[in-house]
């Protein structure tokens, strides 16, 4: 009798098989209509970009048509834009301005965010609120004053004349993202480094910054995208291809004749400047999500 009870108890206590574990962890199957909604949303989001690619592969009379597939696809528009020295120069200007803006935003923003996350001083949250309030100002509100100031100082139509205004909007975003990340890093790690003989700067550089790498990546990517796509300030603060960035350069595309609309070349140029950003987001999508959701859940 005792043997039977022991066997029964063992059977009851027997751990579930791997198949059962997989079934339990998989959860309920999503309904079919949910997949239909997801597919519809994906198509809705990708349709404008597909139409842009479609137009970029058309030339001549095909541009006036509305066919979903180019009748005679050609890369003539892409060859045309890369033969344009102004467009190639504008690509280099955009790379310099965007990378420099991102670098400065991360360096300055990391110090500011660390101070806001770790130090205790009066009106700290008010200061953070003022930093974030800067992002609520539309670029058009500062375009005219900066144009007048930059003209007087000799910064007009220069690359550094674009970097400084770009930082006005990039820095608050970087600070906001990094503050959330620095708050999630245990302070004990820094204190342990100080006990081991490290200075405060060494503890920040060798302990805090590596742990905040996802936040730095998120802030850097979003800052780079914002600087790369900026149009209003680029048009307002430049007057020639010397310092004009890609979005502004595309606005000055002209056709081969006076009355020709350069629709194909504009579409091709838009595809060229969009592809790097798409690849960047796809490659770092996990870090972007981690950075945007940092501090959202407290456990």
Task: Provide CATH 1.10.3720.10 ranges for the chain.
Answer: 79-292
29: number of Cβ within 10 Å? 7
* Alpha-carbon span 16 to 21, nearest angstrom: 7
Residues 6+ apart with CB under 8 A from 197: none
Task: Report the distance separating Cα 295 and Cα 176, nearest Å.
Answer: 11
The CATH code for residues 79-292 is: 1.10.3720.10
User: Which pLDDT does position 135 carry in this prediction?
Assistant: 77
Say how far apart CA 272 and CA 75 lie, in whole Å.
12
**Rounded to an integer, what distance in angstroms lies between the CA atom of residue 11 and that of residue 31?**
35
**Of residues 177, 187, 215, the one with CA closest to residue 120:** 187
Q: Which residues, given as ranges, of the chain have pLDDT below 70? A: 1-27, 255-260, 287-299
The pTM for the full model equals 0.80
Give the pLDDT score at 9: 46
Nearest to 291 by CA among 198, 234, 212: 212
Q: Residue 255 has what pLDDT?
A: 61
Q: What is the pLDDT of residue 259?
A: 54
Q: What is the dihedral of CA 47, 139, 234, 161, to 10 degrees?
A: -150
Residues 271 and 52 sit within 8 Å (Cβ to Cβ): yes
């Amino acid at each position: 009798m005792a043997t039977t009870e022991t066997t029964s108890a063992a059977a009851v206590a027997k751990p579930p098989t791997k198949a059962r574990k997989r079934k339990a962890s998989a959860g309920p199957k999503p309904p079919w209509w949910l997949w239909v909604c997801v597919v519809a949303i994906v198509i809705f989001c990708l349709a404008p970009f597909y139409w842009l690619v479609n137009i970029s592969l058309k030339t001549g009379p095909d541009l006036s048509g509305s066919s979903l597939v180019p009748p005679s696809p050609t890369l003539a528009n892409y060859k045309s834009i890369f033969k344009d020295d102004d467009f190639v120069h504008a690509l280099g200007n955009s790379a310099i301005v965007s990378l420099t803006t991102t670098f400065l935003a991360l360096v300055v923003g990391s110090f500011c965010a660390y101070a806001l996350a770790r130090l205790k001083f009066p009106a700290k949250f008010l200061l953070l609120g003022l930093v974030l309030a800067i992002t609520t100002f539309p670029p058009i509100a500062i375009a005219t004053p900066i144009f007048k100031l930059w003209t007087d100082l000799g910064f007009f139509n220069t690359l550094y004349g674009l970097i400084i205004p770009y930082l006005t909007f990039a820095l608050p975003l970087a600070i906001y993202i990094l503050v959330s990340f620095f708050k999630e890093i245990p302070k004990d790690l820094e204190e342990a480094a100080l006990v081991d003989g490290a200075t405060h700067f060494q503890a920040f550089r060798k302990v805090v910054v590596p742990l905040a790498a996802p936040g730095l990546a998120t802030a850097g990517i979003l800052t780079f995208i914002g600087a790369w796509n900026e149009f209003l300030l680029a048009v307002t603060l430049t007057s020639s291809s010397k310092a004009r960035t890609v979005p502004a350069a595309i606005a000055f595309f002209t056709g081969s004749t006076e009355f020709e609309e350069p629709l194909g070349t504009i579409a091709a140029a838009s595809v060229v400047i969009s592809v790097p950003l798409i690849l960047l987001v796809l490659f770092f999508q996990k870090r972007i999500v981690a950075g945007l959701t940092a501090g959202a859940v407290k456990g």
